Every structure is written in structure tokens, then in C-alpha cells.
Structure 1
Amino acid sequence: MPATTPTAPAELYRHGLRLLLDKNIGDWIGLWAEDGVMEFPFAPEGRPRRLEGREAVAAYMRDYPDHIDLHDFPELRIHETTDPATIVVEMRGVGRLVRTGAPFDMTYIAVVTVRDGRIAAYRDYWNPLAVQDPAADFTGSTR
């Protein structure tokens, strides 16, 4: 990880959002611990509920910019918890769906734990009812 990458949970998370806006999925994956876990507790049937390891997260996110053109994360609120390694994030992701050009507007709540300056756990609570395409994943993209 470059020396300029923040390691505190809130700043690391903000840095990750900037990387997603820049469509720099490779560096975003670099923020993850080798054994990091990403979970989607509200994932609909047929969609992954748990990704174990950086490589699984990378495989899932690799094509993200081909599906979602993110423009901003307005209404970002990061809450510290009694565990200094864990934050709770409330935010909106806005942009457009690449395939259709339709607007993308998704509200998220995430619980993120950082270990040794890397994302160790990420639980992404999103509303699957907000996704119109039944073949869409947590981002609203189709695979």
C-alpha cells in the first residue's frame, strides 16, 4: 500500500470512495486485507451473500465500471463506534447504469472493520427492492 494511503477506518473508507469514482478498481482492491470478507445480508436469491478473501472481492468488483458509472457519493455520513477499528457508513451512490443510461441512485449502510490499515470486513446493507432488473447484483449492475 502506498505511503499516502490512509489507514484510519474513516479516511481509508473515503479514500476507497475516491478510487471507485475514479474507476480504479485495482487500487480499491488493494485496500483489502488478503483474508477480507464482504457480506451482503439482504442479497436476493441467486446473488452472493458472502465473499471470502481479497481475490473473491476482486472477481466480484472487477467489472464494476462496465456496469455503473458512479458520479458521486452525496449524503456521506461516517459514524465511529466503540470499537476504533469499526465504522458505520450511511451514503448514497449516484450515477448511471452503463448498459441502459438510466439513472443509478442507491442508498447504502455499511459496517466496515479495518485491520492493520486494510479492510478486513465489509457488511453492505442495501435495498434489493430498489434494483429494477432481476438479474442485477448489489450495485444495480447486471452480470
Structure 2
Amino acid sequence: MTVPTTAAELYLHGLHLLVEKDIAGWIDLWDEHGVLEFPFAPPGRPGRLEGRQAVADYMRHYPDHVDLHEFTDVRIHRTTDPGTIVVEMRGIGRLVQADSPFDMTYIAVVTVADGLITSYRDYWNPLAVQQPGADFLGAAA
């Protein structure tokens, strides 16, 4: 595999790791002080995770909750800052506990510096998965 050199390449590599359920590999793409934000987080759920370890703690059990099969409709928009991209995409899979379909559209604003993610704002709709068995929104809890 070629080492990702741009923000877009790093992001696409990260999507591949998530589908492969390689959460440790995905965490390795993060800067030690990287910040993951969920601007639409519902009350009682984390809206901001500071540092690679906090992101790792949050994501550790993600595959136990969401079985991602693929990301489709991935559109990467470059910005005037070569380290920042805006991504539109759709994640498809299933909610493990509910054994129901998972089909979520996302918009993410991601900044990469020195080959690592330093900022990731994840604009997804938590209301779309508020159903029994879908309690992965607070995976760190």
C-alpha cells in the first residue's frame, strides 16, 4: 500500500480501515492532540473528544455497534487550505444489536497536518439512528 500523502488520500485510507474494522489502524491516523467533534451530538452524548486516546476510547467498540459494509457517494471537496477537506459520503451497513440496516449520510470537515488528522468535525444526524439497539452514539460510555 502507498503511504497517504494528501488529506484526501489519508481520509480515503481511513474509510478503508473502518470498513475492515481496523479501529487501531484508524486511530493511528490521528495526531496525539487531534480533536473529533460532533456538532449535532444529542444531549448526554460527547460533542468533543480531545486527543488520540479519547478518540480511541470512543471508537474502540464501534464495530460492536455498527457493522460498516461500505462507503458510497464519497465526494471530497478541497479547500484553499491544502490540509483541509470537506467530505460528503454515505455509510452503509447494519446496526449490530438491532440487526437492522444502517444507512447514514455524512458531511465531515477534516484537517490533516504532517500526515495525521488534527481536526475532524463529523456532521451526521443522530436522530436517524435513535432506535432500540442503536446506542453507539456514546460508545465510550
The aligned amino acid for 2:80 is T
CA contact (8 A) 1:126 1:138 kept: no
Note the C-alpha offset of 1:142: 9.7
CA contact (8 A) 1:5 1:15 kept: no
CA contact (8 A) 2:65 2:135 kept: no
**1:73 matches 2:67:** no
Question: What is the SS of the residue equivalent to 1:74?
Answer: strand
The aligned amino acid for 1:60 is Y
Any gaps of 5 or more consecutive residues in structure 2? Answer: none
Residue in 2 that maps onto 1:30: 28
**1:9 matches 2:36:** no
Note the C-alpha offset of 1:100: 1.8
% identical aligned pairs: 69
Q: 2:105 aligns with which of 84, 90, 107?
A: 107
Aligned in 2, Cα 1:67/1:81: closer, same or farther, shift over 3 Å? same
Structure 1 length-normalised TM: 0.91
Deviation readout 1:50-108 (Å, 9 max, x if unpaired): 00000000000000111111001010000000111000000010000111210001110
- Runs of 4 or more, structure 1, over 6 Å off, are none
- The 5-angstrom pairing of residues 39-118 of structure 1 reads 39-118=37-116
Structure 2 length-normalised TM: 0.93
Question: What is the SS of the residue equivalent to 1:47?
Answer: coil
CA contact (8 A) 1:89 1:111 kept: yes
Any gaps of 5 or more consecutive residues in structure 1? Answer: none
Residue in 2 that maps onto 1:129: 127
Cα RMSD between the aligned structures?
Answer: 1.9
CA contact (8 A) 2:79 2:85 kept: yes
The aligned amino acid for 1:121 is S
For 2:140 and 2:6, how far apart are their aligned partners in 1? Answer: 33
